[in-house]
Amino acid sequence: MGRQCEVCGKGPMTGNSIETRGKKKYLGGVGTKITGLTARKFKPNLQRVHVTTANGTNKSMRVCTQCLRSGAVTKRVRSAPFKLPGGAEKKTG
């Protein structure tokens, strides 16, 4: 299950890389021509993030950025690393 989102299942897709030559018609040319087609892969933008699951446990997952932005997963909430004893506010006066 490499290179696949663990939430939505998005994986690599195939397509073509198109090489063109010539000046566009609206710029005064005779139009562009396709001079080459090469197969290529469109890979999903996967991020390894620590996620809080439904039952409250934390685990590491490979998630695509669309799932992160849409809120399909909840990132782990880290506790504060350091707190000053007796409160953080200073008294001036």
Cα–Cα distance measured from residue 62 to residue 84, given in angstroms and rounded to the nearest whole number: 36
Contact 51, 71 (CB under 8 A): no
SS3 70: helix
Is residue 51 within 8 Å of residue 73, measured between CB atoms? yes
In a domain, 22, yes or no: yes
Its pTM surpasses 0.85: no
The whole domain housing 37 covers: 13-75
Q: What is the pLDDT of residues 36-81, one digit of tens each?
A: 999 999 999 999 999 988 888 889 999 999 999 998 888 888 776 7
C-alpha distance from residue 68 to each of 3, 12, 44, 62, 84 (Å): 16, 18, 13, 10, 33
- What pLDDT score does 29 carry? 95
> For the chain, how many structural domains are there in total?
1
Q: Are 65 and 75 in contact (CB under 8 A)?
A: no
Answer yes or no: is 29 within a domain: yes
The mean pLDDT value for 15-30 works out to 96
Q: What is the pLDDT of residue 1?
A: 56
Task: Tell me the per-residue pLDDT of 5-17, one tens digit each, with 9 for 90 and over.
Answer: 999 999 999 999 9
Assess if residue 1 is contained within a domain.
no
Residue 80: CB atoms within 10 A of its CB come to 5
Answer yes or no: is 24 within a domain: yes
Number of CB atoms found within 10 A of residue 65's CB? 13
